Structure 1
Amino acid sequence: MARFELKLPKMGESVAEATITNWLKQVGDKIEMDEAVLEIATDKVDSEVPSEVSGILVEQLFNKDDLVQVGQTIAIIETEGGDVAVVKQEATPVAVAEVAKTVEAAKDSVAAPANFSDSEKFFSPLVKNIAKEEGVSVAELESIKGSGKDGRITKEDILNYIKNRGNQPAVAPIAIGTAPVVATQNVAPVAQKAAPVSVNGGDEIVEMDRMRKLISGYMVASVQTSAHVQSFIEVDVTNIVKWRNKVKDAFEKREGEKLTFTPIMMEAVAKALKDFPGMNISVDGDYIIKKKNINLGMAAALPNGNLIVPVIKNADQLNLVGMAKAVNDLGNRAKAGKLKPDDTQGGTYTVTNVGTFGSVFGTPIINQPQVGILALGAIRKVPAVIETPEGDFIGIRQKMFLSHSYDHRVVDGALGGSFVKRVADYLEAFDVNRDF
């Protein structure tokens, strides 16, 4: 008999760890090659880990809810054949710390969440996110000596602090409803306890699932990070509607793909981003990061009501056929729960189709660390004034609203408004004689 080490596979360039959410096979169970052994979750998607061999599961090295690093051995499978050396890995200090942190967070769920916006000091979004994930309080963060410009705390500063946290003087925790304990001078005020929710006898209490908790955290963090402002514009898409109705059957017959309005809109957005690269950026503290690639996020609703944003990489390099295939592939895999972690990484700008649910327009929340998001409203038949050389007259046109939310810290109204106007211009100038 040989013993095979099943390791956590690499799941994407920026994914270094995952949480075990469920063991599909138990010790003693027979496993076939490519059969799923366990389910894991990253901060974006859930997926399965299949076995690379056939055999018997003889050991589980981690439990449900444990955090595992990419490359760590998570299970031992006994197979037929020669001996294979097995090193029973224990969770690394990072994994142990993460598990301990999870347990501690669960016990301390009644503690007031850190509100970094209350501090008089500036912290970059990256530093705040690390602090939130590691349970670093506002008082602790303010006590760190920064090595950046003007004494600002860098990523390395907070990571070094967390690494040596056990040797740091303890900062007294502040419980909800009690007076703040002043450990140092200029400690930020404690966030007020949320108003209690009344529960009646017939009410049902349902705990948020893991993804909904993550989405909730992302949305709150985005609003606290970016100064959201919106621009709206109405677009005449009559020519697009007529063209799609004319070619959609031929498109599906030739390409084996359905042609929706989404790839047409995405094509226009990618063109506009090339014209206005100031919308294709991210912010890190006082620094603006200009993105080389145009990677369009495509917000997609899941069957359970949650939201996920798969990314079309290098969208500006795709023709309409390529865009349609990318949109359909990501959308179908999102609905089937088959997205890979790397499918949701690297987005530089996001588009969400609120018109799918009948909304005329919306004010979407920016997908951090991006600086803009465009909402596509429902296409409607409306009476409109049509200008001709012979004069104006009233006619029925197909129109929709584009709603552009952008980060006013780095995107002013001129840029935010000009960008969405350029998207509208591309859509209204759509060539009805084009091929697909």
Structure 2
Amino acid sequence: MARFELKLPKMGESIAEATITNWLKEVGDKIEADEAVLEIATDKVDSEVPSEVSGVLVEKLFSKDDLVQVGETIAIIETEANNNVEVSAPDVSEAIVEEIQKTIDVAKETVSAPVSFFESDKFFSPLVKNIAKEEGISLAELESIAGSGKDGRVTKDDILNYIKNRGSQPTNIIAPAKTVEAVKEVVKSAPVQTVSATSVNGGDEIIEMDRMRKLISGYMTASVQTSAHVQSFIEVDVTNIVKWRDRVKNTFEKREGEKLTFTPIFMEAVAKALKDYPGMNISVQGDFIIKKKDINLGMAAALPNGNLIVPVIKNADQLNLVGMAKAVNDLGNRAKLGKLKPDDTQGGTYTVTNVGSFGSVFGTPIINQPEVGILALGAIRKVPAVIETPEGDFIGIRQKMFLSHSYDHRVVDGALGGSFVKRVAEYLEAFDVNRDY
């Protein structure tokens, strides 16, 4: 028999620890490879930790609600083997990396644009990835395998059955460009937590906050205490955008398979304005200002349980409208279904929140630290407005909305904060009604 050390996996560049929220297996239980052993929670989303091997759980090193660091051993699984050598996840990973590095030197001569198993948006366990590497299965080929595991995850049996029916035609190995440290674990958001209510004298009720609400409460309080919040407001005429969307939304959905909401159109304008005013795409670290190279837009989204989460659209300025719509819909849908990954909520440089979806005309949002600005999109309303023409002014019905910009007055003065939101408005009002998607 051999003892396998199940360790807390790396879940994102800035995630160093997680809390154990539930053990799915007890000591003595049999575990299959890729089967979930326990549930953990980071500061934003929750995840399951699967086993990389088949065996029996013989020891749990942490209890529920314990805080665990990435890389720490959390359980011991006894596996069937002919030796007593302890096997740990990092040792296996290092061996894989060593073999991959050898492959890179050979593959560079034949592959002009290498990709990596570790850059996939889908989750593959180390066991599945190792089998794929040994069998010469490319990333694209691996991603095409239909998974029978939870959330469509490819299991050991899935890949072995695929190999069995695959035939003898060889497939070239594609050299990875990054090491195991770049692995992104698929996780899901925290499920709706039911909290019991206690009646006080048959009248008022005391209800304990769930874990995520406690975190949100702490973040909001800390942000107000950290940043000197100030706001600028501007009214925008979005009549052309409303008419254009009404005209193309059906053909857009038919061609692209995606619904076209107003959000990606607004996000596109914000990304352009951030390129024009990079002083808004910064963060503060002590007495230093960090100018961000990438424009990563946070998109505040309400969860079914009433809590809030902010998934991030990475490199938003590099997306066209179709790409932006796909990113917005994907993150929004996965947030509602509880299937966000830890990396989905990391790395934001500026945040947008749509208060208009709840009927609010405008709002004064709290900055998402460590960013220095957040834009609230108000509800679009039909209002009477003065329309200027060469023949004179007249009153007409226009579609208008308010943009509310909160920014950190420690590093953003009124000129920059006001100019930025004005530039967003200019992009929206200059929207080309004859444009394609």
Give the aligned residue type for 1:7: K
TM-fit CA distance, 1:421:
0.5
Question: Are 2:297 and 2:314, in contact at CA under 8 Å, matched by a contact in 1?
Answer: yes
Distance 1:423 1:55, change over 3 A: same
- Over residues 262-295 of structure 1, what are the superposed CA-to-partner deviations in whole Å (9 max), with x where a residue is unaligned? 1110000000001011111111222211111111
1:223 aligns with 2:192: no
TM-fit CA distance, 1:81:
4.1
Aligned-CA RMSD value: 1.9
Question: Are 1:349 and 1:373, in contact at CA under 8 Å, matched by a contact in 2?
Answer: yes
Three-state SS of the structure 2 residue aligned to 1:393 is strand
Q: Which residue of 2 aligns with 1:40?
A: 40
Question: Are 2:60 and 2:74, in contact at CA under 8 Å, matched by a contact in 1?
Answer: yes
Q: Which residue of 2 aligns with 1:56?
A: 56
Question: Are 2:372 and 2:412, in contact at CA under 8 Å, matched by a contact in 1?
Answer: yes
Three-state SS of the structure 2 residue aligned to 1:359 is coil
- Over residues 27-68 of structure 1, what are the superposed CA-to-partner deviations in whole Å (9 max), with x where a residue is unaligned? 233333333221111112111112223333222121111111
Q: Which residue of 2 aligns with 1:24?
A: 24
Q: Which residue of 1 aligns with 2:292?
A: 291
- Cα distance in 2 between the residues matched to 1:247 and 1:54: 52
1:381 aligns with 2:382: yes
- Cα distance in 2 between the residues matched to 1:432 and 1:388: 19
Q: Which residue of 2 aligns with 1:167?
A: none
TM-fit CA distance, 1:409:
1.1
- Over residues 215-243 of structure 1, what are the superposed CA-to-partner deviations in whole Å (9 max), with x where a residue is unaligned? 11111111111111101111111111111
Q: Which residue of 2 aligns with 1:15?
A: 15
TM-fit CA distance, 1:84:
6.2
- Cα distance in 2 between the residues matched to 1:36 and 1:390: 71
- Cα distance in 2 between the residues matched to 1:406 and 1:369: 11
Q: Which residue of 1 aligns with 2:68?
A: 68
- Cα distance in 1 between the residues matched to 2:331 and 2:216: 19
Give the aligned residue type for 2:21: T
Q: Which residue of 1 aligns with 2:279?
A: 278
Name structure 2 gaps, 5 residues minimum: 90-198
- Over residues 393-423 of structure 1, what are the superposed CA-to-partner deviations in whole Å (9 max), with x where a residue is unaligned? 2221111110000111111111111100000
Q: Across the two proteins, how many residue pairs are aligned to each other?
A: 328
- Cα distance in 2 between the residues matched to 1:311 and 1:72: 28
- Cα distance in 1 between the residues matched to 2:418 and 2:14: 33
Alignment of 1:179-194 (within 5 A): none
Alignment of 1:60-139 (within 5 A): 60-83=60-83, 85-86=85-86
Q: Which residue of 2 aligns with 1:208?
A: 209
TM-fit CA distance, 1:312:
1.0
Three-state SS of the structure 2 residue aligned to 1:205 is strand
TM-fit CA distance, 1:82:
4.1
- Cα distance in 2 between the residues matched to 1:251 and 1:34: 39
Three-state SS of the structure 1 residue aligned to 2:434 is coil
Give the aligned residue type for 1:26: E
Alignment of 1:298-317 (within 5 A): 298-317=299-318
Distance 1:32 1:376, change over 3 A: same
Three-state SS of the structure 1 residue aligned to 2:207 is coil
TM-fit CA distance, 1:205:
1.0
- Cα distance in 1 between the residues matched to 2:256 and 2:2: 48
TM-fit CA distance, 1:383:
1.4
- Over residues 324-370 of structure 1, what are the superposed CA-to-partner deviations in whole Å (9 max), with x where a residue is unaligned? 11111111111122111111111111000001111110000001111
- Cα distance in 2 between the residues matched to 1:223 and 1:53: 47
TM-fit CA distance, 1:261:
0.7
Name structure 1 gaps, 5 residues minimum: 90-197
Q: Which residue of 2 aligns with 1:408?
A: 409
Distance 1:87 1:253, change over 3 A: same
- Cα distance in 2 between the residues matched to 1:200 and 1:432: 62
- Cα distance in 2 between the residues matched to 1:333 and 1:83: 44
- What is the TM-score normalised by the length of structure 1? 0.72
Give the aligned residue type for 1:306: N
Question: Are 1:281 and 1:371, in contact at CA under 8 Å, matched by a contact in 2?
Answer: yes
Give the aligned residue type for 1:352: T
Give the aligned residue type for 2:337: A
- Over residues 304-330 of structure 1, what are the superposed CA-to-partner deviations in whole Å (9 max), with x where a residue is unaligned? 111111111111111111111111111
TM-fit CA distance, 1:200:
5.0
Give the aligned residue type for 1:43: D
Question: Are 2:4 and 2:87, in contact at CA under 8 Å, matched by a contact in 1?
Answer: no
TM-fit CA distance, 1:426:
0.3
Give the aligned residue type for 1:58: V
Q: Which residue of 2 aligns with 1:342?
A: 343
Question: Are 1:47 and 1:338, in contact at CA under 8 Å, matched by a contact in 2?
Answer: no
- Cα distance in 2 between the residues matched to 1:257 and 1:82: 54
Give the aligned residue type for 1:286: D
